[in-house]
Amino acid sequence: MPDPPPDYYNRLLEQRRAEYAAKGLSKVPPDFFTSTTRYVAALHEILERETRENPTSKKVEMTRTTYQRALASARDVLEARLGKISHLAVQHVNLGGEPANLLPEERALYDALVRDLSGFRRTSAPFLEPASGGSAPSPAVPPAAPGGTTSTNPRPLAASPPPPSTAAPPPSAPSSPSSPAPAPPVRAAGPSSSSPSAVAPPSGPSSPPPTAVIRVLQDQPALALPNETIELRKEDLLVLPAEKAQLLVHARIAERVDVQPRARVT
């Protein structure tokens, strides 16, 4: 096996620093895992060869230190990226969004996590997805009849017609015997008045969707929403739609803040 590049150790340390500093996945070379595997294997082979030749030499001690530090740095980069990929998969299932700087090997892992987490959410928490199989709210049960029985086949309630007036009609003037009887009023053609239909009230201006105030509990990667991208920094106060805010609270990314209206001073 050829000797490893002399500057790869410094590049590995720099990659570790960049991964720890970035909130999301840092940008790495496309062959990062392959080249790092070759580099660590080459260091291990050099260490074994030098140990056989002169186990007490100073060069063996330096090679061993370089090998151990390189292996630890590579492990730190891998574990940091695995933690971020897992978090991004959970975020995608709950809120959507797509991560950046995924390597091909990491993309396969990310897709598998999203698929498994989505299936778990659908089967174990269907109440979070009412549009795709969540339990619908139970219909209202009508009150019991005066005889104590309840209808077993409730029908949708329609608007009831106004009750007839109980006031007596005003007395009409007596008609002359010679005057003809008044003709009955002409009723316009249309549906029978015996079965009045409910008339929907005129729709007014739509009210804005409810919002909620939340406090971010920890720094998070940028959150990609359908219409915008927001930064989640610790202790930030955000006003979001109530549905989005509830998802962040469930994920323990934020907590709800109760805002009390300020008393008006007179």
Q: Where in the chain do CATH 3.40.5 domains reside? A: 211-256
Closest CA to 114 of 221, 187, 122: 122
Please tell me the CATH code under which domain 8-131 is placed: 1.20.58.1030
Residues 6+ positions from 30 with CB-CB distance below 8 Å:
103, 104
Q: Where in the chain do CATH 1.20.58.1030 domains reside? A: 8-131
Pairing verdict, β 229-232 and 237-241: unpaired
Q: Where are the beta strands (DSSP E) in the chain?
A: 211-216, 220-224, 229-232, 237-241, 254-256
Is 90 exceeded by the pLDDT of residue 208?
A: no
Asked whether 58 and 50 are in contact (CB, 8 A), the reply is no
- What is the per-residue pLDDT across 158-179, written as a single tens digit (0 to 9) for each? 444 455 544 444 544 444 444 4
The per-type count for the chain, helices as H runs and strands as E runs, is: 5, 5
Sequence letter at residue 87: H
User: Class of 211-256 per CATH?
Assistant: alpha beta
Is 80 exceeded by the pLDDT of residue 30?
A: yes
Token readout for 126 is 């269907």
Does 124 or 167 have the greater pLDDT score? 124
